[in-house]
Amino acid sequence: MTILPSHHYQFSALLTALASLSLVVLVYRKGVNQRLKRQFVFYYASLFVWSLSVFVCTSVYDYRISYFFNQSTHAAAIMIPVFFLHFTLVYLGRLKNMIEKVVLLFFYLSALFFELVVIFFSDLFFSGIEPKLSFPLFPTAGVLYTPWVATFTAAVMIAHLILFLELLSSKGVRKKQIAFFLIANLLGYTGGIGCFLPVYNIPYFPFPYGPYGVLLLSLVSGYTILKHRFIDLEILIKKTIIFGTLFAAIFAIFSFLLLIFQGFLSHYMSSNPFLQTAVSILVIVLIYDPLRKLLIDVTDRYLFQKRYDYKKLLKDAAAGISQIKSLNQLLSLVIHFITMRVRVRNASILVHDEGNNYFKLAYYRGYSKSGWLKAGHIFNEDDFLIQYLNQERTSLDIDRLKEMLERDQSKEQKRDQNNRYNYKAIKNRMDELQAACCVPSFLGNKLLGILVLGEKKSGDYYSDEDLAVLFTIAQESAIAIENARLYDEAIHRSEQLEIKSNELQAKSDELLGKTVELGRKNVELEYKKEELQAKSNQLQSKTDELEAINKKMEETQSELLRALNETELTNKRLKETQTQLLQEKKRALLAGISAAVGHEIRNPLTPMIGHTYFLIKRIEEAQKLYYESLAVKLTEPERQRFLSTFSELHSRFSAMQKLEDRIKGIVSTLINLVKERTGKKEEVQLYLVIQAALEEVRFQTYWESLTIPEIIVDIPPDLPFISGITQDLQGVFVNLIINSLHALENKMNKEIKIQGQLDENNPKIIKIDFSDNGSGIPKELQEKIFEHGFTTKGEKGTGIGLFYCKDNIERIHEGSLNVRSEPGVGTCFTIRLPIYDGPSKTSGGLADYGNTAHR
Amino acid sequence: MATLLIVDDEVDICEIVEDTFKQEKGFVVLKAFNGPDGVDLAKAHHPDVILLDIKLYGFMDGIEVLGEIKRYLPKCKVIIITGFSDNVTENETKNLGAFSYLEKPFNPPQIVEIVKEALQKKWSEESG
């Protein structure tokens, strides 16, 4: 079997028909812009009719059918160049001046003329159809065929020329779209030449490969639509759809190659169809998997944007921004980070100004001609763009906006309340900012800033994934930005205070000068006694003035003190915001989980405890009954067996009771860890409290570069519960651990050890040794460390950590906290706490109930 | 004879409470596994003490049951038994007039002690 020209025609025409039909259906159903959509559908529908007709008329032997499809082939072919030209004009937004309209009208009229010829006077169009060049039946050019080819060529040339000129003057995404569309059509019409040749009986290249060019036209157009949004569609194309389509296409080509291969084999081998099929199957099996992998690779490379390692991107971002204190520095970092990582041309940040309720352009980078754009430019809160971001709470990219704008325009007649936003104004604002994407940054419900990103350097679009990651980064930076803003505010305030203080100094100097002058005048007065009265009056008024100024100076000084206090307060607030925010989130989550766990475990535990209680009671009763009535009737060995059974039952159920108590304690510890502090003493499992404290330490030291060493916790599992307030004890351990971590900061082999045991002197007390091998505490300081406000950590310390521990353990828990330390060897804190001995009258649920004094 | 009503959707808990009070002399124990049944039983039998779970399966939760009972039987002593609750709920039950509050799990002597305490309070109020 050899491949004949007619086979190429059939195969490629069929594929072209499929491809163009898919494009027509896709764009017709999901297209956004009505006018563009219509012209596109006309163009590719004519391609579809043409290719389907070519397929049929090169396949059939029946004269009448072939003749009819020859007519339909040409009826479609006549429309192709005209629709192509029309679509090109509409797509480029032309068709506004008279000349273009006239030209288009001319081609439509000539197309109408040739259509009439093909339908009613087809003899003039082709002189007949006959078997030639391996085609069963094929037409030969008639009188009017050549004039038609001329108009065809003219229309195609004009369209290409217009596209080419537009390509030169456009840029960015549009340039890419036009380039792809131009290439697609160049390929298509170059191949198209091959389709005219056999009509004139010229069997030279590109015959018989012409129709492949037209197939490429459809495929490249499809690629342009999917990858570069050549025609705006309402849907986002899923990877699987593209993959499926591509796979089908390539598989079709693949099977075709296989067919050739099979034909080729039959030349050299005895024509045993089974053997040929077997070899073909082998080839399929060998090639299938590599082909699939190649396909996945290719789709990833060309159809989808490069994937960033998003997790890393986020981690880097968070690590960077948390350490920067100054707002300007922070903003520059965020912008720099995003321009480098996401590779955008330009970016800027608008930051909300607390005092004035407007947004200020705080930082920008990469703008080619900034013009009016400069730092400090102000945008009002009711700016359309800002309103949109504030209300929608999502990112906005320019392509989505354009889509909404177009939809908006197409619905202009029935404009209703759905159109809440002035998209046109938003677009203008984004164009001004040279923005391709705006990402809002919220702290709680407050819009704090807007990240404005320009076009990507690659010209790619912002994918949904991009937007999601950017949104997350923006929220992460919100906390940092707020902190930096508070910090800057504090700096700014202290600068102002300095200025005020300088002013006061100047004023005081001035006063001094005035006093000297007054003195001199006084001396003068001595000599000029006759002017005394007048001068004395003058002097009096000057003295009054002096007093007034003095008073003012005092006032300013007290103002200075007040402002200084305020600065300190702001600084403190700054430190607290971050940790608080994180902890609240963590607690809310834990509270939910613990509530569910607590409920689900405590409910079945209640009857279980009851059953065990009664079992033990019954066993005791049974034993009593046995002694009273049964024992005397039994032999000694039987008696022994009874007794051992009783004691085994008793000891097993007692063990169970202890285990139930343990579960009870653990669950209540878990729940209390997350419950709001009630001030009620309950049974506390020490081990769990320490674990919880460790978790909290990890949170609290997250921003400091403290490494947490392995902490050895040595607490026997059968250690009784402590009577205490879980949250408080957790806090004590958190303080002790952080304290030790600071003491261990410069140490090589860090070690923290927590040991719990019964106090050897008092079995109702649990003793906990908390020791580290840190720098230790000098003797003279050991007494001071528990004092309020004492710290050795400079600005880092607050001076309340150990004070809180001592106070809480001794005053609230009625325990004790002591320290032993040797400088250079380490420190050991010893905590003593009372054992929990059941819900007594003073600490149980009943008596405390209704007593709100604790809260 | 004192009448005790337990309202809890956990059948096993109701039964262990019933067992517990069968061994004590002088108690009649009624059980309800949901809120509406609890209210109906309370209206019909006027129990002296009610043990009431907060989280009830179905239309009414413990807070609603408590409100209803206190409206019809203001003298009845209601003891809240619960697996987990926050301070807000605890305060709410107190404001609605609950006698006391007991966390699950409890053992038989604990529940007996609390119920007896409630009874004594009730009787002393009636005689005083």
Query: Using CA atoms, how far apart are residues B41 and A562, in angstroms rounded to an integer?
Result: 67
Query: Using CA atoms, how far apart are residues A643 and A387, in angstroms rounded to an integer?
Result: 84
Minimum-distance CB partner of B20 among A600, A610, A678: A610
Chain A positions in Cβ-Cβ contact with residue B15 (cut-off 8 Å): 607
**What pLDDT score was predicted for residue A462?**
78
CATH of A678-854, one of 3.30.565.10, 3.30.9.10, 3.30.470.10, 3.40.1190.20: 3.30.565.10
CATH superfamily of this structure's domain A5-237: Rhodopsin 7-helix transmembrane proteins (1.20.1070.10)
Query: Using CA atoms, how far apart are residues A44 and A48, in angstroms rounded to an integer?
Result: 6
- Average pLDDT along chain A, 855 residues, taken 10 residues at a time: 76 87 84 84 92 87 87 91 91 84 92 90 85 83 89 92 88 82 90 84 79 86 80 61 68 72 67 66 74 69 52 59 63 74 78 79 73 72 84 82 76 54 83 85 80 77 75 75 72 78 80 80 70 72 84 81 77 64 64 75 91 93 91 89 92 90 76 67 86 74 69 88 87 88 82 91 91 86 78 63 85 89 88 81 38 35
- Whether residue B84 and residue A614 make contact (CB cut-off 8 A), yes or no, is no
- Whether residue B108 and residue A850 make contact (CB cut-off 8 A), yes or no, is no
Q: A431-438: long-range contacts at Cβ-Cβ below 8 A with a sequence spacing of 24 or more? A: A432/A373, A433/A348, A433/A373, A434/A345, A434/A346, A434/A367, A435/A398, A436/A344, A436/A397, A436/A398, A436/A462, A437/A395, A437/A396, A437/A397, A437/A398, A437/A462, A437/A466, A437/A467, A437/A470, A438/A385, A438/A389, A438/A395, A438/A396, A438/A397
**What pLDDT score was predicted for residue A577?**
66
Chain A positions in Cβ-Cβ contact with residue B109 (cut-off 8 Å): 613
**What pLDDT score was predicted for residue A275?**
67
Interface with chain B: mutation pick from A600, A606, A676, highest number of B CBs within 10 Å: A606
CA distance B48 to chain A (A): 18
Q: Which of A665, A700, A723, A714 is nearest to A582 (CA)?
A: A700
CATH superfamily of this structure's domain B2-127: Response regulator (3.40.50.2300)
**What pLDDT score was predicted for residue B121?**
93
Which tokens in the block code for residue A54?
């070519």
What does DSSP say about strands A446-453 and A711-714: parallel, antiparallel, or unpaired? Answer: unpaired
Query: Using CA atoms, how far apart are residues A435 and A381, in angstroms rounded to an integer?
Result: 18
- Whether residue A609 and residue B87 make contact (CB cut-off 8 A), yes or no, is no
DSSP symbol at A343:
I
- Whether residue A598 and residue B84 make contact (CB cut-off 8 A), yes or no, is yes
Q: What is the pLDDT along chain B (128 residues), one digit of tens a residue?
A: 899 999 999 999 999 999 999 988 899 999 999 999 999 999 999 999 999 998 888 888 899 999 999 999 999 999 999 887 777 788 888 889 999 988 889 999 999 999 999 999 999 988 87
The residue extents of the domains of chain B are 2-127
Query: Using CA atoms, how far apart are residues A601 and A593, in angstroms rounded to an integer?
Result: 12
A426: number of CA atoms within 13 Å, CB side?
26
- SS3 of A563-622: the string is HHHHHHHHHHHHHHHHHHHHHHHHHHHHHHHHHHHHHHHHHHHHHHHHHHHHHHHHHHHH
**Per this entry, what is the length of chain A?**
855
Query: Using CA atoms, how far apart are residues A572 and A570, in angstroms rounded to an integer?
Result: 5
DSSP symbol at A305:
P
Region of residue A850 (phi > 0: left; psi between -120 and 50: alpha; otherwise: beta) = left
Which tokens in the block code for residue A367?
């703008």
**Omega prior to A208 cis, within 30 of 0:** yes
Query: Using CA atoms, how far apart are residues A744 and A751, in angstroms rounded to an integer?
Result: 8
Nearest CA in chain B to A845: B102
**What pLDDT score was predicted for residue A747?**
79
Which tokens in the block code for residue A559?
């103002």
Chain B positions in Cβ-Cβ contact with residue A608 (cut-off 8 Å): 105
Minimum-distance CB partner of A595 among B84, B102, B110: B84
Query: Using CA atoms, how far apart are residues A199 and A125, in angstroms rounded to an integer?
Result: 11
Query: Using CA atoms, how far apart are residues A185 and A189, in angstroms rounded to an integer?
Result: 6
Domain A310-410+421-491 has CATH 3.30.420.40: no
**What pLDDT score was predicted for residue A410?**
66
**What pLDDT score was predicted for residue A574?**
64
Task: Give the position of tokens 């001609």.
Answer: A369
Question: Residue A710's CB: how many other CB atoms inside 10 A?
Answer: 8
Assess B119–A contact: CB distance below 8 Å, yes or no: no
Query: Using CA atoms, how far apart are residues A480 and A824, in angstroms rounded to an integer?
Result: 38
Q: Using an 8 Å Cβ cutoff, are A688 and A671 in contact?
A: no
Give me the DSSP letters along A235-278: SPPPHHHHHHHHHHHHHHHHHHHHHHHHHHHHHHS---HHHHHH
Query: Using CA atoms, how far apart are residues B119 and B108, in angstroms rounded to an integer?
Result: 17
Region of residue A739 (phi > 0: left; psi between -120 and 50: alpha; otherwise: beta) = alpha
Q: Using an 8 Å Cβ cutoff, are B18 and B5 in contact?
A: no
Q: What is the ipTM of this complex?
A: 0.85
Q: Which of A464, A460, A463, A466 is nearest to A176 (CA)?
A: A460
For A612-671, list the strands marked E by DSSP. Answer: none
Which tokens in the block code for residue A61?
């032997």
- SS3 of chain B: the string is CEEEEEECCCHHHHHHHHHHHHHCCCEEEEEECCHHHHHHHHHHHCCCEEEEECCCCCCCCHHHHHHHHHHHCCCCEEEEEECCCCHHHHHHHHHCCCCEEEECCCCHHHHHHHHHHHHHHHHHHHHC
Query: Using CA atoms, how far apart are residues B6 and B50, in angstroms rounded to an integer?
Result: 6
The alpha carbon dihedral of A534, A539, A545, A548 has a sign of negative
- Whether residue B84 and residue A602 make contact (CB cut-off 8 A), yes or no, is yes
**What pLDDT score was predicted for residue A558?**
82
Q: Using an 8 Å Cβ cutoff, are A425 and A444 in contact?
A: no
Chain B positions in Cβ-Cβ contact with residue A606 (cut-off 8 Å): 10, 12-13, 16, 104-106
**What pLDDT score was predicted for residue A746?**
78
SS3 category, A476? helix
What's the CA angle centered on A127, arms A122 and A133, to 5 degrees? 120
Interface with chain B: mutation pick from A597, A601, A602, highest number of B CBs within 10 Å: A602
What's the N-to-C CA distance of chain B in angstroms? 19
Residues 19-78 of B with CB under 8 A from A: 19-20, 55
Task: Give the position of tokens 């039909």.
Answer: A21
Q: Using an 8 Å Cβ cutoff, are A754 and A715 in contact?
A: yes
**Per this entry, what is the length of chain B?**
128
Minimum-distance CB partner of B87 among A601, A603, A676: A676
Q: Using an 8 Å Cβ cutoff, are B80 and B33 in contact?
A: no
Nearest CA in chain A to B108: A610
Chain B positions in Cβ-Cβ contact with residue A604 (cut-off 8 Å): 10, 12
**What pLDDT score was predicted for residue A150?**
92
SS3 category, A825? coil
The residue extents of the domains of chain A are 5-237, 238-304, 310-410+421-491, 546-661, 678-854
Which tokens in the block code for residue B31?
């059980």
Q: Using an 8 Å Cβ cutoff, are B30 and B41 in contact?
A: yes
pLDDT by residue (tens digit) across B65-102?
A: 999 999 999 999 999 998 877 777 888 888 899 999 88
**What pLDDT score was predicted for residue A658?**
85
Query: Using CA atoms, how far apart are residues A273 and A279, in angstroms rounded to an integer?
Result: 10
Which residues 6+ apart lie within 8 Å of A313 measured at CB? A341, A469, A473
What strands lie across the sheet with B49-53, from one edge to the other? B27-32, B2-7, B49-53, B77-82, B100-103
- What is the pTM (predicted TM-score) of this model? 0.37
